[in-house]
Structure 1
Amino acid sequence: MSFLGEILCRKAAEVEERRRKTSERELITRASDLPPPRSLAEALSPRGGPVRVVAEVKRASPSAGEIAAALDAPAQAARYAAGGAAAVSILTDGPGFGGALEDLAGARRQVALPLLRKDFVIDRYQLLEARVAGADAALLIAAALSEDGLAGLVEDCAALQLTPLVEVHDEWEVEAALAAGAQVVGVNNRNLKTMKVDLSVSERLLPMLPETVKAVAESGVRTAEDVRRLRAAGAANFLVGEALVRAADPAALLKELMEA
């Protein structure tokens, strides 16, 4: 079984276990009392606009291993907000990433920026969890979903007023994302089979996206030089995680990236 396939099997079991502990009806009730989410799409730049960074909170990853096991997620989110990030991505998957929904809820109490729940979303239940924890947006990975499944979750996001950030890795997935109505598309430079990063993926796929779609270049962006390279391909928004977590001064790196 592939790396992604193993995660999706685990995730399906995890969702059912969480559903047994907290019913969908209870989450719907909690969500109904919340204020409207912030718009991730409005926080991002159009093609050719100024650089915007979605700064990511992550403690580990399968490709990098442990990055910062003791990272305080709310405090890191606050650092990003102070440094000028447009939004904050919170990894909420536990195994392999060291994240939890509690990180998202904690970050919500610290920052007013749009928050993205970054996880392997396969079920509407996870979107409800995200909404209740304070998310404004949710990652949907095209490679993890059928075309119908992706379209259904995009609709579920709309019903919950969450912005879906649809992640793509190849031309077929770009077409699937656009067919599903995605208005924010993330181009992931990481191959989920080999885990290798290749910035030319963004250079190849970004031109396929209509100007009405907000595009986000993901993975492998570490330096101002990387930003300049991908801006030449049409990128204005960048999701940056590991480099910011490892940086001694995340605000200084954010400034450098945004001024590239």
Structure 2
Amino acid sequence: MDILEEIVARKRIDLDHLKTVYTEHDIHREVEKLMDEGNSVASMRKALMQSKTGIIAEFKRRSPSKGWIKEDADASIIPLAYQQSGASALSILTDLPYFGGKDKDIRMARQSGVTLPVLYKNFIIDEYQLFEARLCGASAVLLIAACLKKDECKTLLYMAHQLGLEVLLEMHNEAETEYADLQPDLCGINNRNLGTFHTDVQNSFLLASRLPKDACRVSESGLKDAATLEALRLAGYNGFLMGERFMKEANPGEALKEFIV
């Protein structure tokens, strides 16, 4: 079992337990109430397509491959600092066992004043998680082709849209780019193999031509310098998801500001 299979197996167990504590009926009712109140979220696709930098700054405490990056990271401080420093959008990890995140981190970011689009970054395999994302204040959700059969992905994408959420569909090899014909709001190419954690930015360049011409393209993982972002922009990318590059610094918001300058 590689790490992705391990994560998904653990996710199924955790979801089964969570549904006994906070039932599907309960969470559906809460989200329906939220939507009846007219609570809407900002479009990540629009933000990236109109942005000059396209940086999706990620709030991440740890990863399976690197361990703890910033164990005491405060979700009420760093995401807002990212916003103030020029991020186009945010990504917030909400997986606890492997990434040290939780839904509360998005709520804290929103309560601190974050108005940018926020990606609910988790390993989504069940509609229940879409309701979790909507309830905590996310704008978009991540669907990972490697975790889902194409028909499962199609069903989750449809439900996300019903809840007013956009979808960043993540692919990392040529076979998975077939999922792009599901017409997600954003097409992501992950430069990191989620099974082995080998990272190669060339992956984004190699797969660019496999994406629809009108797609909002996002390159993920291993992005460290402005020259790489500029080359990817010329290759047709609109968004650049960057986490460790900033989170490993003492002041992630300041590190982002310096990077943009």
Q: What's the TM-score once normalised by structure 1's chain length? A: 0.93
* Counterparts of 1:121 and 1:12, CA distance in 2: 10
How far residue 10 of structure 1 moved from its aligned partner, in angstroms, is: 0.5
* Cα deviations by residue, 1:154-197 (Å, 9 ceiling, x for unpaired): 00111101011100001111111x22221201110001222111
How far residue 249 of structure 1 moved from its aligned partner, in angstroms, is: 4.2
Corresponding residue for residue 191 of structure 1: 193
* Counterparts of 1:256 and 1:91, CA distance in 2: 23
* Cα deviations by residue, 1:91-122 (Å, 9 ceiling, x for unpaired): 01111211111111111212111111100000
* Counterparts of 1:247 and 1:225, CA distance in 2: 20
> Which residue of 140, 143, 157 maps to 1:140?
143
The alignment status of 1:97 with 2:86, answered yes or no, reads no
> Which residue of 147, 155, 159 maps to 1:156?
159
Corresponding residue for residue 221 of structure 1: 223
Corresponding residue for residue 114 of structure 1: 117
* Counterparts of 1:255 and 1:232, CA distance in 2: 22
> Which residue of 56, 61, 64 maps to 1:62?
64
* Counterparts of 1:69 and 1:255, CA distance in 2: 22
* Counterparts of 1:182 and 1:235, CA distance in 2: 15
* Cα deviations by residue, 1:110-150 (Å, 9 ceiling, x for unpaired): 21111111000000000001111111111000000001111
* Counterparts of 2:101 and 2:252, CA distance in 1: 19
8 A Cα contact 1:53 1:258, kept in partner: no
- Where do residues 22-101 of structure 1 align in structure 2 (5 Å cutoff)? 22-34=22-34, 35-45=39-49, 50-101=52-103
* Counterparts of 2:258 and 2:118, CA distance in 1: 22
8 A Cα contact 2:171 2:188, kept in partner: yes
Farther off after superposition, 204-213 or 150-159: 204-213
8 A Cα contact 1:217 1:237, kept in partner: yes
How far residue 75 of structure 1 moved from its aligned partner, in angstroms, is: 0.8
8 A Cα contact 1:108 1:135, kept in partner: no
8 A Cα contact 2:191 2:221, kept in partner: yes
SS at match of 1:33: helix
8 A Cα contact 1:102 1:133, kept in partner: yes
SS at match of 2:99: coil
* Counterparts in 2 of 1:186 and 1:258: CA distance versus 1, 3 Å: farther
Coordinate RMSD, CA, aligned: 1.6
* Counterparts of 1:150 and 1:187, CA distance in 2: 16
- What letter corresponds to residue 199 of structure 1 in structure 2? V
* Counterparts of 1:9 and 1:28, CA distance in 2: 24
> Which residue of 168, 171, 185 maps to 1:168?
171
Aligned residue pairs: how many? 256
How far residue 258 of structure 1 moved from its aligned partner, in angstroms, is: 4.2
How far residue 252 of structure 1 moved from its aligned partner, in angstroms, is: 4.4
SS at match of 1:128: helix
* Counterparts of 1:71 and 1:257, CA distance in 2: 20
Show structure 1 runs of 5+ residues with no match.
none
* Counterparts in 2 of 1:251 and 1:100: CA distance versus 1, 3 Å: closer
Corresponding residue for residue 9 of structure 1: 9
How far residue 232 of structure 1 moved from its aligned partner, in angstroms, is: 3.2
* Counterparts of 2:257 and 2:190, CA distance in 1: 23
